[in-house]
Structure formats: C-alpha cells, structure tokens
C-alpha cells in the first residue's frame, strides 16, 4: 500500500480544489453539511485502451476529461457541481509524476467549476482508469429530466456537433483525409483536438434551462442515440433536421461533402453539448439565452406524437437548423 | 453499446432494491430529495486479479463484497446508507448471465441494508471491476471521525479479527497447513470463508456509536495499519494488546501457535470490523451495547500522548483483550 498511498497523495495534492467540505480526503467517507434543495449524483469512468490511449493522450487531458464528462451529466440536470470522489485504478509502474499530471488536469477543471475533491480510493488495476462520482445541487425549480418533452415542443441543441469525433480522427489517423484537409488550417485542427481532449460541460446553460426546458440530455454517445433516450423517456417522437445540424468551420473544412459532415454531427459522439426541448412559445427566451451566454442554441426539430427519432430531410420539412447568434 | 446496455440492464434488474429516489437509473444523474442532516459519501473499487479471481470467486460474492466494503465505510462514520451508484468495467465476453449474478449479490445486500441503487455506468475494461459509490446520512450528533481520539480514552474493536485473511488462505492454498487443520472442522472453515467472501458491514454498531465513540475507523487494511490512520488523524498514540486480540474458534483451530494467530489478527486485513475509542468512563455503555447487538466489543488498548501504534505485550501491561459477551 505504501506506493499507492504516495500516488493518491500526489494526485490529491495536484487535484485538490479549495476544500469546502468539513471532512475531506482522509476519513472513511466525506461529510457534506447544509445540503439544500435536490442533490444530483452521477458516476462515469474513463478507461485506458477504451476511452484513451497512453500513446496519444496526455494525462492532464485524461484527468480533465474524466471530470468533464461527469460535469456534463450535472449540466444536463441543471445542477451546480459541489463535490467529487475519484477512484483511481493504476497499473504497475504508474509513477508519482504521472499521478501528479492526472491530478493537475482534474484539479484545474475542479477549481474552474467549483467542484471540491472530497475523497477517493486507489487500487492496482490492469490499465489506468479514473472513475469519478460527482454531486451537485439544483437550488429551485427542480432537476431537468429526460422525461418532460411534450408534443408540440421544439428541440434545441447547443454549440456545434461532430468536432470531438473529428478530433479523434485527427489523433487516430494523422495522415488520413480529414487531417490532410486541415493541414492548411492549423487553428481549426487545434480547436477540434481540444473538443476531443478537453471537452467543456455546459454548466451555465444547464442551470439557465431550469424552468425553461421541458426535458434535457447531454450528448455523449452521439445526437441520434441520445435523442433516442430522451424520446423514449418522454414517450414521444423527435423529428430532427439531421442534414442541417450546427457544424463548426473545422468540420466543414475537414468534410467538404455535406453528407459526410452530417453523419459526423448526427452520430459522432463525445460532443458534451446539451439537447433540450421547450414549448415553442419559449423560442424568444432561448434566443435571448444564446446571446447572453455567447453560445449557439440551434432549433433542430419538433416533438410529435409517436416514438423514436425521425429525420427531417433538408428539403422535406419546414425546419432548418439555424443559429441564433449568426 | 447494444450489448453493454443489455449487461447493465441485467445487472440493474437483479440488483435493484425498492427505488426511493425520484429519478433512478436512466436519467443523466440520480436525484435525491429531502436530505436531512449530514450526508456521507465514499467510493471503493473491487478489481479482478487484485481483489478477487474469477477462478476462486463467485460473482454473487463479488457483487456483495463490492457493496459491503463501502457500507463498512459508512458504518465507520455512523451513517445510515441511502443510495449507491455502480460503475461496472466489463471485459470482452462478459455475459448477461454473469451480469445478473453480480447484480444478485449486490442486490440482496442492498435490500438488506436499505440502500437504493440509483444510477450507474458501464464501460469495457481489461478485467471485471465494480466501483461503488454510496451515500448515507447521519441524522443527529454528527458523523464519527478518525480524528476525535483523546489521551485517556480506551480503544475497542468489534467482532473477531483475522478470519477474512484465514478465508483467503483457504481459497488460495486449499492444501496448505491452515486448510489441513480445518479439515475436521468444516463448519469453522465455512465461517472463515464467508468472512472473506461475504463480509458484513457493522452498520447497527456504527449508528449506535454516534454520541458514544470519540473516534472510529473500519478495518480494511489490517488492525495495525488502520489503527495507525486513526492515531495520525487524532494526533495521539494507540497502545494496543496486539498479542491478545479477539480471535474466532476457526482462527484458533487453524493456527494453534498464539504468535501465528496474533499476526493474522493484527495485520490480516479485510475484517470490516470497527475500531473505535471512547472515554474510559463510557466502558459500561459499550458493554451494554455489545449485549444489545449480540456482538463482541473488546477493549484492546489505551490512547496516550505521542504518535503511532505501540504493542502492549501479553505480559507487559495491564490491558488484556476481553470479550464482554464471554
């Protein structure tokens, strides 16, 4: 246990945000007092060889991403992050320097998002893994659920889609066609890589949607799949303009054929944007919110009777993706 | 993701206790309402090849143990369990039947302890792992910490020590000396195996110690090591009768030499008993508690000025292990 304690200490020293809990790492459990309103808790794991490779991933990025994917779940609930627990699985030969790098990436996002690291655990494991549990609070209005979408509502998505999948393509196939097309656009390539390596959780958006959105989900597995979860939980059908989803300049440059980038945007995964529904009458409020946050919020579809996710062709229906900031 | 969803569904269907949270597994995060008093949260992982082997461990037991080790941390805080999150790492070829077995072991203990499975996550991983986060509540009096032991207090331990380590020896060396000596005592051998495979968390004891114990820790890494954590957190020295720790009939039969079983009891690990301190004046209350719970609570030492853990020889000091039930 000696070396393992040293590693957890190196991780914690680098990761620890200003402690806000009476008993932080070190006791049998962390203690949280003065909890008001609803508490949301969620867990997510980042595993070597599955979610990242040591060859292409920097450990600072891995630490950041392990927390970011959890914060994204809190964002989708409209919750403000409060605390995190980290379970580290470390392979033989994992060094204190590596533990520190992992902790530094975790810690910078923890501080930025106001998340206190309150406890954790370290075990030996065949490969490196970080399993992060986060807790957050929804002060008033109640948590956003996937199950609240109603017939007649409209469907929105934040930001741009497909960039994280493009970033993965750049990492995995540095000589592939997407990478070649972005060679003349290094700034766009870097932006796509950052979406893959250091995703942002839409925490401010999520909190602002409490009382405005009827349902919400974060996009981790790709728009179509996650929209399917929301549709199933709400017992409705989502009709989406899949051929006109919001795309970044990087995606357009990397995939000049509209059908290619539509596919990336619709099922790329790891975007960590929010998909949400509102009554159609609240569209002006969503537009104002987009301006206030400086974040594109694009109307991409409608909620109808039925089940599942249905494409609206670019020419077939009245709905087109549009960006309230454009 | 298809097969992974099926596996998590099989696990959840088998594991799920009566849901007590407004939004259970299925939303981006679980939602807990009406949280009173302090909330304790903790995380622990059980990893194939480190904490169990598929060859010698049954998956029902692995599911049970993954929850039990976390409940033991809550017990040490004096908390009542409320909810759990499970992050499953599953290797290729892990079947739905296996997920169900894992869930059944988890679920029976979840129901018995009143712990609601409120969410989770499944990822592919090189080996099977369960990372369990639990949340519990301390209603009044405040959580038990490791840091409250004061000079003049006395030190207690629950149950018997070394049995889980004996159980491990029986599993790992079925032809070894301990196993040979227990051949004529199959009931004792089974009891030791159960301590290893299906440890109990001392939840009722932990809750009863709120307002009585000055400090508390659960014994996962062995008495000496965990006593060292309590001593360090409290800034005191613990003087313990390490040669006269409470031992079971199984341990006595397996290790006839007192020095051998003293070593097992002092540093065996995985006992999941509670080590706690009280003012010496509260000894009668501890004795009454032992009778009420039907659980041995043995006085094993004293808190003194200084630091670290110090042995009191069987002949050297005034303290002898004794069992209030004996």
CB contact under 8 A, A41 and B32: yes
Mean pLDDT on B291-304: 97
For A205-237, letters b (16+ CB in 10 Å) and e give bbbbbbebbbbbbbbbbbbbebbbbbbebbebb
Q: Which chain B residues have a beta carbon less than 8 Å from that of A145? A: 23, 27
Task: Tell me which of B104, B119, B138 is where a domain ends.
Answer: B138
The chain A residue lying nearest B36, using CA atoms, is: A35
- Evaluate whether residue B319 is within a structural domain: no
Task: State pLDDT tens for residues B178-197.
Answer: 999 999 999 999 999 999 99
Phi, psi of A232 (to 5 degrees): -65, -45
For A164-195, letters b (16+ CB in 10 Å) and e give bbbbbbbbeeeeeebbebbeeeeebbebbbeb
Task: Tell me which of A101, A118, A138 is where a domain ends.
Answer: A138
CA atoms within 13 A on the CB side of A84: 37
Q: Which chain B residues have a beta carbon less than 8 Å from that of A40? A: 29-32
Residues 6 or more apart in contact with residue A129 via CB below 8 angstroms: A45, A46, A47, A48, A88, A89, B89, B125, B129
Interface test with B, best of A21, A41, A71, A226 (most B CBs within 10 A): A41
- Evaluate whether residue B278 is within a structural domain: yes
CB contact under 8 A, B43 and A86: yes
Task: Tell me which of B98, B115, B138 is where a domain ends.
Answer: B138
In the DSSP assignment, the letter for residue A210 is: T
The chain A residue lying nearest B72, using CA atoms, is: A28
Same domain (yes/no): B51, B130: yes
Same domain (yes/no): B105, B231: no
Task: Assess whether pLDDT exceeds 60 at residue A43.
Answer: yes
In CATH, what number is assigned to the domain containing residue A58?
3.30.1330.10
CB contact under 8 A, B77 and A133: no
Between CA B148 and CA A253 the distance in angstroms is: 62
**Binning pLDDT at 50, 70 and 90, where does residue B285 land?**
very high
Residues 6 or more apart in contact with residue A198 via CB below 8 angstroms: A61, A64, A65, A68
CA A297 to each of CA A160, A273, A285, A286, A289: distance values in angstroms, whole numbers, following the listed order: 9, 10, 11, 7, 8
Q: Which chain B residues have a beta carbon less than 8 Å from that of A43? A: 85-87, 119-121, 131, 133
Mean pLDDT on A291-296: 97
CB contact under 8 A, B221 and A146: no
**pLDDT at position B1:** 40
- Evaluate whether residue B50 is within a structural domain: yes
Looking at the partner chain, which of A1, A33, A129 has a beta carbon nearest the beta carbon of B125?
A129
Q: Which of A110-114, A309-313, B156-160, B294-298 has the lowest mean pLDDT?
A: A309-313
Chain B: nearest CA to A240, how far in angstroms? 21
The chain B residue lying nearest A46, using CA atoms, is: B123
Q: Which of A55-64, A163-172, A205-214 has the lowest mean pLDDT?
A: A55-64
The alpha carbons of chain A give a radius of gyration, in whole angstroms, of 20
**Binning pLDDT at 50, 70 and 90, where does residue B148 land?**
very high
B262 lies in which domain range? Answer: 146-311
Chain B: nearest CA to A243, how far in angstroms? 24
Looking at the partner chain, which of A29, A43, A135 has a beta carbon nearest the beta carbon of B77?
A29
Chain A: nearest CA to B192, how far in angstroms? 24
Between CA B22 and CA A147 the distance in angstroms is: 12
Split into its structural domains, chain B has a count of 2
Chain A: nearest CA to B129, how far in angstroms? 9
- Evaluate whether residue B118 is within a structural domain: yes
CB contact under 8 A, B27 and A218: no
Please give the torsion angle defined by the CA atoms of residues A202, A219, B21 and B130, in that order, rounded to the nearest 10 degrees.
Answer: -110
More confident residue, B139 or A125: A125
**pLDDT at position B317:** 40
Between CA B96 and CA B6 the distance in angstroms is: 7
In CATH, what number is assigned to the domain containing residue B209?
3.90.650.10
CB contact under 8 A, A42 and B29: yes
**Binning pLDDT at 50, 70 and 90, where does residue A148 land?**
very high
**pLDDT at position A95:** 87
**Binning pLDDT at 50, 70 and 90, where does residue B254 land?**
very high
Q: Which of A25-39, B120-134, B238-252 has the lowest mean pLDDT?
A: A25-39
**pLDDT at position B325:** 34
Q: Which chain A residues have a beta carbon less than 8 Å from that of B233? A: 26-27
CB contact under 8 A, A126 and B127: yes
Same domain (yes/no): A150, A85: no
Same domain (yes/no): B119, B167: no
Same domain (yes/no): B182, B257: yes
Task: State pLDDT tens for residues A75-128.
Answer: 999 999 999 999 999 998 888 889 899 999 999 999 999 998 888 888 989 889
> Cβ–Cβ contacts within 10 Å for residue B75, how many?
32
CB contact under 8 A, B45 and A89: yes
**Binning pLDDT at 50, 70 and 90, where does residue B219 land?**
very high
CB contact under 8 A, B233 and A127: no
Mean pLDDT on B247-265: 95
Query: What percent of chain B stands above pLDDT 70?
Result: 90
Same domain (yes/no): A161, A288: yes
Interface test with B, best of A27, A74, A235, A276 (most B CBs within 10 A): A27
More confident residue, A322 or B144: B144
- Evaluate whether residue B320 is within a structural domain: no
Between CA B308 and CA B291 the distance in angstroms is: 31
More confident residue, B6 or B255: B255
The chain A residue lying nearest B92, using CA atoms, is: A50
Same domain (yes/no): B161, B98: no
**Binning pLDDT at 50, 70 and 90, where does residue B34 land?**
low
- Evaluate whether residue B79 is within a structural domain: yes
- Mean pLDDT (chain B, rounded): 88
Interface test with A, best of B1, B27, B83 (most A CBs within 10 A): B27
- Evaluate whether residue B321 is within a structural domain: no
Same domain (yes/no): A318, A272: yes
Same domain (yes/no): B115, B36: yes
Same domain (yes/no): A220, A295: yes
Same domain (yes/no): A153, A79: no
**Binning pLDDT at 50, 70 and 90, where does residue A35 land?**
low
- Evaluate whether residue B71 is within a structural domain: yes
Structure tokens at A66: 């392990």
Structure tokens at A246: 């919001």
Same domain (yes/no): A189, A303: yes
CB contact under 8 A, A143 and B23: yes
């Amino acid at each position: 246990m000696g070396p393992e304690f040293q590693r957890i200490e190196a991780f914690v020293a680098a990761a620890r945000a200003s402690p806000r809990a009476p008993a932080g790492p070190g006791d049998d459990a962390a203690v949280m007092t003065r909890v008001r309103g609803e508490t949301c808790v969620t867990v997510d794991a980042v595993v070597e060889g599955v979610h990242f490779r040591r060859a292409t991933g920097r450990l600072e990025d891995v630490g950041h991403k392990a927390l970011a994917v959890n914060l994204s779940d809190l964002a989708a609930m409209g919750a403000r992050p409060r605390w995190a627990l980290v379970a580290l699985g470390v392979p033989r030969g994992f060094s204190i320097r590596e533990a520190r790098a992992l902790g530094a990436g975790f810690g910078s996002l923890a501080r930025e998002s106001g998340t206190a690291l309150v406890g954790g655990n370290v075990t030996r494991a065949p490969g490196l893994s970080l399993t992060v549990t986060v807790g957050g609070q929804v002060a008033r209005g109640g948590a956003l659920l996937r199950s609240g979408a109603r017939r007649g509502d409209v469907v929105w998505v934040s930001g741009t889609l497909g960039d994280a999948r493009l970033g993965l393509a750049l990492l995995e196939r540095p000589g592939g066609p997407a990478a070649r097309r972005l060679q003349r656009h290094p700034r766009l390539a870097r932006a796509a890589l950052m979406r893959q390596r250091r995703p942002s959780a839409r925490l401010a958006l999520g909190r602002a949607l409490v009382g405005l959105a009827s349902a919400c989900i974060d996009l981790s597995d790709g728009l179509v799949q996650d929209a399917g979860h929301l549709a199933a939980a709400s017992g409705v059908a989502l009709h989406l303009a899949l051929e006109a989803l919001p795309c970044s300049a990087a995606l357009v440059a990397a995939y000049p054929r509209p059908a290619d980038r539509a596919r990336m945007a619709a099922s790329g995964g790891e975007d960590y944007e929010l998909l949400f529904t509102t009554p159609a009458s609240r569209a002006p409020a969503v537009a104002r919110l987009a301006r206030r946050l400086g974040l594109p919020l694009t109307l991409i579809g409608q909620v109808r009777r039925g089940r599942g996710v249905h494409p609206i062709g670019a020419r077939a229906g009245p709905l087109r993706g549009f960006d309230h900031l454009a």
